[in-house]
Amino acid sequence: MSRLPSHLQKLPLNKLAIPGSHNSFSYSLDPHSQVAPDQSREIHAVVHMFGAPGRDVIYRWSMTQNLTAEQQLNSGIRYFDIRISRESSSGKVCFIHGLYGADVIPCLEDIKKFLDNHPKEVVILDFNHLYEMGTEHHSSLLHTITEIFGSKLCPYLNMECLTLEMMWGSELQVIILYHNEIVSDNPFFWPGSSIGSPYVNTSDIPQLLSFLDKHKKENDAKERFFCWQGVLTPSAQTIISHFAKSLKEVLAGKLAPFFVTWVKNGKSVNCKHGIFMMDFVEMADFIPSVIDLNY
């Protein structure tokens, strides 16, 4: 964001094109962990029955990113899609997607280090799926986030005021979206209603692109962010039919060039702002294609 021309620095952030990653921290999933609470009872039963081979299947179909958070940041990702759960045995809050991943806190500290070294970069951290957490767990995590980012945290503002020019002038670098009502009285966290992120549960590329086309007018809302999800979701039949393969091989790798073409076409159909996210963000020149929408 630091390289954007001066006229874009005066626009609200939701009028810029921002590269994002889907299930941003799934690169950290532990293939030997327990099944995470975002999975159905049936999946838990299957893994209980088959053990390690069952977890291996979940791992291959749940990992959506290869790049670490630091690598994503250095590549240009500025929106992080975050799913977390408290791990019952350790009490730690961990990233999840099918299985448990890394402890959240060290990863946030890594993001803080990047921001310290790049004072004109801004990130959006969207905590949108929160499992196995009571009020005290949320409060503890929010307190820790506040301690880590401190004065970098951008308070909940009118979107029209949220420009790079304003954030740089105030030395603000972090916007935290937190999808739980506990933040309603905390001015430094943005509620889940601050972002629209329509999702279609499909493994079919034409159906996904048609769905995105139907939502083109929604990203004109002045008061919130909007996220374009270039993401395919495997059905049980998809996984069974490609049992020895992975999400990247069967779905994400095939979608990437089509989604990136759709992104590029946004320039000609007035659909060139918002957050754009997909799996395996290093594929198909996704990140530079999103950034180019700003020019």
Q: CA–CA separation, 245 vs 141, rounded Å? A: 36
pTM: 0.96
pLDDT-based confidence at residue 170 (cuts at 50, 70, 90): very high
48 is catalytic: no
The pLDDT tens digits of the residues spanning 107-154 come to 999 999 999 999 999 999 999 999 999 999 999 999 999 999 999 999
Across 148-168, average pLDDT: 97
7 is catalytic: no
Computed from CA positions of residues 207, 210, 212, 218, in that sequence, does the dihedral angle turn out positive or negative?
negative
Residues β-bridged to residue 130: 84
The pLDDT tens digits of the residues spanning 23-45 come to 999 999 999 999 999 987 777 77
**What is the pLDDT at residue 19?**
98
Q: To which residue do tokens 């999933």 refer?
A: 29
Across 267-273, average pLDDT: 74
Residues β-bridged to residue 81: 126
pLDDT of 269 strictly over 70: no
Write down the catalytic residue from 97, 118, 129, 143. 97
pLDDT-based confidence at residue 85 (cuts at 50, 70, 90): very high
